[in-house]
Structure 1
Amino acid sequence: MTPGTRLLVSAQGERYRFDPGSLSLELMLTGGPGPYQRYEIAHAPADLAEWFTGSRLALTAPLTDVRIRPAELTALKELRNALYQVVPALAHGEPPSAEALASLNDATEASPRPVIDPETRRLAWAPPITGRQLLGAVARDAIELVSGRRSGRVRECSADDCQLLFFDTSRSGNRRWCSMERCGNRAKIRAYRARAETS
């Protein structure tokens, strides 16, 4: 599977691919506050380190030496909680809270360092990749979503029973569904049945 695209399982057991289109939105799939605690996968630093190896960062270069300390895991989860205040506000056209935005700003100090391998001339991430650097990468990504032209493309799935959030990377800017495999397909089926009933 392409890095950044995640395989999700619905409450009914349906498996479907979901590309949130952004590293910060992808991190929100690892769990969160309140009702999102049931999706928690980052129980230990090693859990989140392994998760990052399949993240959007791996689109640039493979992540091979990821080291997250317990305090960094806590900081990443705190940033994720702040994202749950910022991203839904963006999706609904509301201003995010100043406190949540300050959390993003405070986390940008470090980020993974790209380097060129002298032998292969391929791009790589300078090892080790620390939790502090990952924190900075996620925070910088989120700041890009909040500021500038990208902010108007943060969306919530249009299905009534789905709250997945994504950054619309489509050329037309009219993506409506978290996944055509799941919510998009269900909407097509409903529309087909409605047309059949009226004809």
Structure 2
Amino acid sequence: MSEAATGLVLQALDGARFRFDPGALCLEFLTTGGPGPLSRHEALHSPRELADWLALSRLGLDPGEIRTGPGDAVAGRRLRDALWRLTRAVIEDAPLPAGDLAEVNRAAARPALVPRLTPDRTRAWAPPVTGARALSSIARDAVELLTGPDAGRIRECGAGDCPLVFVDLSRSGRRRWCSMERCGNRHKVRALRARRDRTEEEKP
């Protein structure tokens, strides 16, 4: 990723690639798959795949420093699926599922990644940089998001066939799409076609 850009480069099922910035680490983690129909996007089959994703995430981890254990991928999938259900409950203003709350709280209670300042004034991470610590950092980010002022700005993409969620941090508070490059552009194309069809129908 370029330093000027934020978010992840995702690939849709039709092969199209686009950049998606959900505005929070915990929502970024949801791009790795999820429960039910989202399982077709599963990306955390192994500890190595979890490490690869962490290196791409906004944590900016050095892939050579990440140590993942045998149970980390399973723990990652469990945490992610709980985050999906909690996020949807917040969007729908519904009660938070008790089991998913417990899952996130368990992960958040474990030791997290420890940031450190480097001589060139960039952020790095103090060892050990482990999968379990990274998952704790993700869970803590979720606690901060879901209990903070931006919880009411969590949105689902306006495209009916896109499940991605994001924090609307726009000044106007009117962000509709996961990405203008992807779903926003698809909406524009559909709207243009609909206008053309109406114009053709109105011709004498």
Instruction: Give the aligned length.
Output: 196
Name the residue aligned to 2:112.
111
Residue 5 (1) aligns with residue 7 (2): yes
Contact in 2 for aligned 1:112/1:125 (Cα 8 Å): yes
Contact in 2 for aligned 1:4/1:55 (Cα 8 Å): no
Name the residue aligned to 1:77.
77
CA RMSD of aligned residues (A): 2.1
Contact in 1 for aligned 2:51/2:63 (Cα 8 Å): no
Q: Secondary structure at the match of 2:103?
A: helix
Shift of 1:91: 2.1
Shift of 1:38: 1.7
Separation (CA, whole Å) in 1 of partners of 2:189 and 2:120: 50
Corresponding letter in the other structure for 1:190: R
Whichever of the two has the greater Rg, that structure is 2
Structure 2 unaligned residues grouped into runs of 5+: none
Shift of 1:195: 4.2
Q: Secondary structure at the match of 1:107?
A: helix
- Rate the CA distance shift 1:193–1:66 in 2: closer, same or farther, 3 A: same
Cα deviation, 1:37-76, whole Å, max 9, x if unaligned, reads: 2211222211111210111112xx7565111101222222
Q: Tell me the TM-score normalized by structure 1.
A: 0.87
Residue 15 (1) aligns with residue 17 (2): yes
Q: Secondary structure at the match of 1:125?
A: strand
Name the residue aligned to 2:138.
138
Separation (CA, whole Å) in 1 of partners of 2:32 and 2:127: 24
Corresponding letter in the other structure for 2:111: A
Q: Tell me the TM-score normalized by structure 2.
A: 0.85
Q: Secondary structure at the match of 2:56?
A: coil
Separation (CA, whole Å) in 1 of partners of 2:168 and 2:102: 25
Contact in 1 for aligned 2:7/2:21 (Cα 8 Å): yes
Name the residue aligned to 1:178.
178
